[in-house]
Structures are given as structure tokens and as C-alpha cells.
Amino acid sequence: MKERLHKDVVIIGAGMAGLTAALYCGRMNLDTLVLENGIIGGQIANATDIENYPGFVSVKGGDLISTVQTQAENFGAVIDEFDEIEKVTLKTSPKIIETQEKIYEADVVIIASGMNRRKLPLPEEKKFAGRGVHYCELCDGHAYDGKIIAVMGGGNAAVDAANFLTKYAKKLYLIHRSEFRADEVSQKRLRANDKVTIMLQTEIKALRGDKRLEEVEIFDKKSGETKTLAIDGIFVNIGVEPNTALFKDELTLTASGRISAGEDCRTEIDGVFAAGDVREKEIRQLTTAASDGTTAALLAEKYLAKLKG
Amino acid sequence: MKVTVFGFEDCPFCQKTKRFLQARGVEYEVRDIELDEEAAAECKRISGDLAVPVTTIDGKNYVVGFDKRKIEELLASA
């Protein structure tokens, strides 16, 4: 029989939005629990150099998030990164979050479950995942010291990943099916590196290898040519998908799979807030994630005050 | 039983694995594959690769990555 516990606020996700919400909830003396199924920090935990977060010239994602985690915990928020959520029921009062080990009853739920990287849409992906196809540069880049690396994608995450991986690669290809969407600053840094070959308007059509990835087949859309490149490892950065599978029966999701909520982070269910990248919005940055976390926490406190009369 | 975690400092899943073992009260040794060439060679010998974290008991049975259930099974098997 699972233990039943009551919490003022349960925050789902310990990325920047979730931890900022936890920090604010903690400061307001709310009994706050943060549940995280992946890694604390989410996407940002893998970021190597963050240069657009105010207050820091350059900071590692892991260091920044670790500080926010400490702030949240110092104000009494509890973070559980090992007990996985199995089911959520949001329309009841209190709301129910069932994990592998416990059942939490919560007056407020803040959903800050963020995004996961989109998988490489090729049938061979499963065969080579972890054996030449990777989704975390910081975790797996070191295994390609002195080897040939490809980065797939053309946004900021892809170009930043490519810049980071040049420290290991003897040769690095950046392969993208259309044009760059990354910031000029990051693009310039990449273009200036002699190890790098940029292949735009190029698609990866197939992955080949015996036990590990050995080569990729690419298609140049401009010339119509198909070529084979010897590649030891490919790091996939072709976008992200919202982590909303848990909520699809409880909340209306938008066409992109995100949660519909305004700038006040309120969802269609009273006492349920959506914060950070998981919320449907135009701008998704680390700063706006922190902003959402703040807004959700402050409005959660107002909701709780009204609820408790 | 000697539990060893092969990894490196900035690796988020290595950190999570270590926190998990601490939370379970398991004593373990950390070997850094970036700073220690012998550790990297040993990691490769055990798992056949340099993907980390690798959690191992006595260098025989091992789990690659952070997988709570598999690590629990590994610990229970000792």
C-alpha cells in the first residue's frame, strides 16, 4: 500500500521553470515538493556555456541550475528525482499525483515538465542509439576524442553543440536540411573553426555500421547528389518535443502538444499552472522559463490563500 | 561487494547515479574517465564502450546510464 501525503504545491519538473517556482513557493512557506523523472535542470543541465542569462558573462548550465536548486532547497522545497510519476488526476480537489512509491494529494500543481530532444527519424536510430547516435553532448562527447563527429540540426542548440564538440573532434560536420536558424555569434564561432565543414540543405538518409555507427548517407538537396561520409558519432539536435504525455487526458493540449495557458500560467483547471517550455507561447528562453516559474508560484500562493479562506 | 561508478564530473547522469547510490546508503568508488586514463581503459574493458555512467559491482555485472530499476537489480544481485 502506497503512503499518502498532502502537499500545498507539487511541481512537476525540475528545470529552470520548476526550480524557480520551487524557490518562490519555498520563500512563501508553502509545503512544496518537486518531482523530476529525468535530470535536475532538464535541457539546461547539458548546456555548456550560457551567455544570455542576465548576471553571468558565461556559466555552465549545470552550475547555474545547481545554484537555483540550492536556493529552492534552502527555502524548504523538497526535490525527489528518483520516484517516477505514474499518473496524475488534476480535475479533483485535491489533485492526485501517483508515483511508483507514493500518492500525493496537492492543492496546487505546477506543470514545468519541459521538453525532450526529438529523436532521429530513421529506422536505424534504435540500432545505433548510444552506439554512434547521441542526444547529450556533455554526457557522450568525450567518447569521440580524436574522432569524426557530425551534428545534425541548424538551430542554436545544434550550433552550440557543434562548437562544444570541436574540442573533441578531429573533424566535425554540421549537417542541416535547410538554412541556419542559430544566432550569428554562434555561427561565426563555428565557421571560424578549421575542423568544421558546414553542410546546409543536406539531409541524412541512412545510417550504416556493424555494431556501431560507421558511416552516414547524405543527400545534397541543391546538387541532387547522394554521398557517403565516414562518421564515428552523430549528435542529434533537430528540435524538441513537449513532455506532456502524462497530462493528455487531463488538459487540452495544443497542436504542438504543449499546454494551453496564458502569460499568467493558469490552465483551464483551477489550481493547475503550466510554466516554462511546456506552456504554449512564442518565446521560449531560459529567462522566460524563470519568469513563468515566478508567475506560477506567486499566483499559486494567491489561489491557495483563497482556497484556505 | 565493491560498487564503482565510472564517469566524469560534468556528466549529469553520473551525478544522478551518485546521488541515487547515496540516497540508498550504498558506498561506492568514483573513477573519472576524463582525468584517469587507466579508469577509461577499465571502463572500456567492462562495458566495451566509453558511454557513462557505468555502475559496476566488482567489475563484472554493470549498468550503463542511469536506470533506476537496473541499478536496483544490480545491487540486489550482489
Weakest mean pLDDT among A37-46, A188-197, B11-20, B34-43: A37-46
CATH 3.40.30.10 is held by the domain B3-77 = yes
Tell me the residues of A at the B interface, defined by beta carbons under 8 Å apart.
39-41, 45-46, 60, 62, 81-82, 84, 130-131, 136, 138-140, 142-143
Which amino acid, A45?
A
- pLDDT value of residue B50: 81
Q: Is A153 exposed, middle or buried (0-12, 13-18, 19+ CB in 10 A)?
A: buried
Alpha helices in A43-155 (DSSP H): 61-74, 125-128, 137-140
- pLDDT value of residue A133: 95
User: Does residue A25 have an active-site annotation?
Assistant: no
- pLDDT value of residue A102: 97
pTM of the predicted model as reported, rounded to 2 decimal places: 0.87
Q: Using CA atoms, how far apart are residues A102 and A2, in angstroms rounded to an integer?
A: 5
Q: Are A179 and A201 in contact (CB under 8 A)?
A: yes
- pLDDT value of residue A99: 97
- pLDDT value of residue A309: 83
- pLDDT value of residue A89: 98
Q: Are A292 and A264 in contact (CB under 8 A)?
A: no
Residues 6+ apart with CB under 8 A from B7: B13, B14, B17, B18, B30, B31, B32, B33, B52, B53, B54
Q: Interface pTM (ipTM) of the complex?
A: 0.85
Residue A206 carries which DSSP code?
E
Cell of A132: 554512434
- pLDDT value of residue A258: 97
Of A39, A60, A142, the CB nearest to B13: A39
Helices B68-77 and B12-23: crossing angle in degrees, nearest 10, is 50
Q: Are A90 and A273 in contact (CB under 8 A)?
A: no
Weakest mean pLDDT among A45-49, A92-96, A101-105, A153-157: A45-49
- pLDDT value of residue A138: 85
Q: Which of A80, A140, A220, A270 is catalytic?
A: A140
Assess whether pLDDT exceeds 80 at residue A22: yes
Q: Find the mean pLDDT for residues A190-197.
A: 96
B10–A60 CB contact, under 8 Å = yes
Interface test with A, best of B14, B16, B37, B67 (most A CBs within 10 A): B16
Chain A: give the shortest CA distance to residue B77, in Å: 20
Domain boundaries, chain B: 3-77
Which amino acid, B54?
V
- By C-alpha distance, the chain B residue nearest A36 is B16
CA dist A23 → A14, A67, A78, A293, B40 (Å): 11, 11, 10, 9, 38
Q: Domain A3-116+240-308 belongs to what architecture?
A: 3-Layer(bba) Sandwich (3.50)
Assess whether pLDDT exceeds 90 at residue A48: no
Residues A228-272: pLDDT tens digits? 999 999 999 999 999 999 999 999 999 999 999 999 999 999 999
Instruction: Look over chain A and give the mean of its residue pLDDT values, rounded to a whole number.
Output: 95
Q: Are A113 and A14 in contact (CB under 8 A)?
A: no
Alpha helices in A42-182 (DSSP H): 61-74, 125-128, 137-140, 156-165
- pLDDT value of residue B48: 85
- pLDDT value of residue B10: 85
Which amino acid, A266?
R
Residues 6+ apart with CB under 8 A from B41: none
Chain A: give the shortest CA distance to residue B2, in Å: 22
B10–A62 CB contact, under 8 Å = yes
Please, which pLDDT band fits residue A49 given cuts at 50, 70 and 90? confident
- By C-alpha distance, the chain A residue nearest B8 is A139
CATH of domain A119-236: 3.50.50.60
Q: Which residues of A touch B13 (CB under 8 A)?
A: 39, 136, 139
Q: Using CA atoms, how far apart are residues A82 and A67, in angstroms rounded to an integer?
A: 20
Residues B29-74: pLDDT tens digits? 999 998 999 999 999 999 988 889 999 998 889 999 999 999 999 9
- pLDDT value of residue A130: 85
**Residues spanned by CATH 3.50.50.60 within chain A?**
3-116+240-308, 119-236
Chain A: give the shortest CA distance to residue B7, in Å: 9
